[in-house]
Amino acid sequence: PSTAGRDFIRDIVAADLASGREKGVVTRFPPEPNGYLHLGHAKSICLNFGIAEEFGGRCHLRFDDTNPTKEEQEYIDAIERDVRWLGFEWGEHLHFASDYFEQLYAWAQHLIRTGKAYVDDQSQEEIRLTRGTLTEPGQNSPFRERQVDENLDLFARMRAGEFPNGARVLRAKIDMTSGNINLRDPVLYRILHAHHPRTGSAWNIYPSYDFAHGQSDAIEHITHSICTLEFEDHRPLYDWCLENLPVPSRPHQYEFARLNVTYTLLSKRVLTELVRGGHVSGWDDPRMPTLAGLQRRGIPAEALREFVKRIGVAKANSTVDIGMFDFVVREVLNKTAPRRMAVLNPLKVVIENFPEGQVEKLEAINHPDDPSQGARQIPFGRELYIERDDFMEEPPKKFFRMAPGREVRLRYGYFITCRDVIKNAAGEVVELRCTYDPATKGGNAPDGRKVKATIHWVSATEAVPAEVRLYNLLFTTPQPDAANFASQINPESLETVTAMLEPALASDNFEGAIQFERQGYFCRDKDSAPGKLVFNRTVGLRDTWAK
């Protein structure tokens, strides 16, 4: 396809195909199974799978499972589920770096035999201290000149489990004076006596990210290995490994800017701590920026794909306003979400001239722009609930909704006029006594008189109560500090109310979000049970974060 100008990665892919440097495109999404996927991963998934789709290639799902102490089967399962939910398929190309452990080991031996790797007996601390700094060169290890046979023997014994954790490492022999610290004899293998979710206790040594990643790409014939900018300085090492090993293909690494979003931390470490520390109810807590949390909050996968498309792919880091995400979510939901009425903070209204015990059915359309969604019947009666905020006893000038003596329209219903305000002993308004005009059914007065406001409502006798969870931003500052986030958690990130819903909401079986008219989008939570409805607020109708 013609993609010039779309983004620099797609331009590179298009140019490589046009010049014949590559015959097809093969990408991969390479998560480490040490947590759930988040919004940032969605950007990488859409980029990798999207490019494969657009250029008629394929994208692999590869688990980068080289660090068994942090990895779990639960995360593998969740990642597969979430990538599928986002709308992508890897077909038969589900791979694991651990499937290549034997090949990687053989390639490490190859580096030893060609004098390009050695076993170092220094401690991790000694290695760190002799690595030098940006301005100071590093120092050669005293073990750097070890003979090939001794290196091969020690490496085999590391694998066999003869030595404790940290006793030795395998290092590439590159250049301790390199301006790029990643090339100062990087560690290729470390000893780790740990159970691996897939290889069990077969291995006592594990390859580093840098040694596993490029070679895994080569084994899978990946053409374009796309990663985030922090790996830019690793690219020379990526290339060095491929150039010094008899690999079956020659992939190339390209870097793009990771996604950052205001009021959000996209780091699996932080998200893990939020879960472990009990700050949220789990990985799928609707306040979490995880795909599981966003899904549970009612965000459609389409909105995530659309958001990623709009933010684009660039080479410089930046931060996207969370308001932009909400904007896209609203835009997508507005097109399809059915409309219903629900009162979040109920105030009772008694229609004095409506007969007691009688229920009338009024017709309400399900979507203003989509006639195919049809209409439904909503019950109207003598007792109703309206939103407490829709009434003011002493309204300021610009408040046009309910007030003493004032007439307003009930959505899909009648005009009603407030005749009396009833208060409790504490002086709080507990009930409005109103009258309705039977001639205004459907929302218009035959005499042409106007009202300035239309409010939503439910029948008090027919409405169904529900727990509604209103989510606010998880952090109080636009740029939360990943190192010190606990003190920046918003104590009001979850507010729970008992709302009154129109009865259809109890029987509807929508998967996704529904618009509660004038309130926002909401979806039924998995905590719902027979006789106990729970709804999550997906997003409000207007941007309220900025206030």
CB nearer ligand ATP, residue 242 or residue 378: 242
Place of tokens 């396809």: 1
Nearer to ligand ATP, 88 or 436 (CB): 88
How far is residue 330's CA from residue 432's CA, in Å, rounded to a whole number? 33
Task: Between 113 and 269, name the residue whose CB sits nearer to ligand ATP.
Answer: 269
Q: Would the annotation count 70 as a binding residue?
A: no
By C-alpha distance, which of 247, 240, 246 is closest to 216? Answer: 247
Q: Which two tokens stand for residue 283?
A: 């990985």
- Smaller CB separation from ligand ATP, 145 or 232: 232
Give the three-class secondary structure for 484. helix
Stretch that binds ligand ATP, among 13-21, 260-268, 392-400, 489-497 (CB under 6 A): 260-268
- State yes or no: 248 annotated in a binding site: no
* Least distance CB 35 / Mg ion (angstroms): 8
Please indicate if the annotation marks 267 as binding a ligand.
yes
Contact 490, 476 (CB under 8 A): yes
- When the beta carbons of 270 and 499 are compared against ligand ATP, the nearer one is 270
The one of Mg ion, ligand ATP, none whose footprint includes residue 60, by CB under 5 to 8 A per kind, is none
Whether residue 40 is annotated as binding a ligand: the answer is yes
> What CA–CA distance (Å, rounded) separates 395 from 293?
40
Interface segment toward ligand ATP; rule CB under 6 A; list 28-36, 245-253, 297-305, 502-510: 28-36
| Shortest distance (Å) from residue 150 CB to Mg ion | 33
Is 43 labeled as ligand-binding?
yes
- Decide whether 27 or 536 has the Cβ nearer to ligand ATP: 27
Choosing from 103, 180, 182, 228, the residue that interacts with ligand ATP (CB under 6 A) is 228
Residue 41 interface partner, choices ligand ATP, Mg ion, none, CB cut-off 5-8 Å depending on type = ligand ATP
Residue 306 interacting with ligand ATP (CB under 6 A): no
Nearest approach, Cβ of 217 to ligand ATP (angstroms)? 11
268 is catalytic: yes
Residue 488 binds to ligand ATP (criterion: CB under 6 A) = no
**Cα separation values, 102 from 63, 76, 212, 218, 275, Å:** 16, 21, 11, 15, 35
Partner in contact with 417, chosen from Mg ion, ligand ATP, none, beta carbon below 5 to 8 Å by kind: none
| Residue pair 65/32 in contact by the 8 Å Cβ criterion | yes
Tell me which of 28, 184, 235, 268 is the catalytic residue: 268
Dump the DSSP string for 323-362: HHHHHHHHHHHHHHPPEE-EESSEEEEEETTSPTT--EEE
150 is catalytic: no
84: left (phi over 0), alpha (psi -120 to 50) or beta: alpha
Q: Could you give the CA distance from residue 342 to residue 411 in angstroms, rounded to a whole number?
A: 12
Provide the angle, in degrees to the nearest 10, between the axes of the packed helices 235-243 and 209-219: 60
30 binds ligand ATP (CB under 6 A): yes
Find out whether 37 is annotated in a ligand binding site.
no
Nearer to Mg ion, 258 or 411 (CB): 258
Residues 26-55 that bind Mg ion (CB under 5 A): 32
Do the Cβ atoms of 157 and 104 come closer than 8 Å? no
| Least distance (Å) between residue 493 CB and ligand ATP | 20
**Distance separating alpha carbons of residues 211 and 246, to the nearest angstrom:** 14
Secondary structure of residue 402 in the 3-state scheme: strand
Two structure tokens written together for 505: 């909401």
Contact call for residues 517 and 341 (beta carbons, < 8 A): yes
Known binding residue 44? Answer is yes
Least CB distance to ligand ATP at residue 474 (A): 15
Find the catalytic residue in 6, 81, 198, 258. Answer: 258
Instruction: Pick from 222, 245, 259, 432 the residue near ligand ATP by CB under 6 A.
Output: 259
Question: b/e map of 18-31 (b: 16 or more CB within 10 Å)?
Answer: eeeebeebbbbbbb
| 32 has catalytic annotation | yes
Return the H-helix or E-strand segment holding 225: strand 224-228
Residue spans of alpha helices (H) in 443-535: 504-507
* Residue ranges at the known binding site for L-glutamine: 64, 209
* Residue ranges at the known binding site for ATP: 32-34, 38-44, 228, 258-259, 266-268
Interface ranges with Mg ion (CB under 5 A): 32
- Report, as residue numbers or ranges, the catalytic residues: 32, 258, 268
Interface ranges with ligand ATP (CB under 6 A): 30-32, 40-41, 43-44, 64, 227-228, 258-259, 266-269
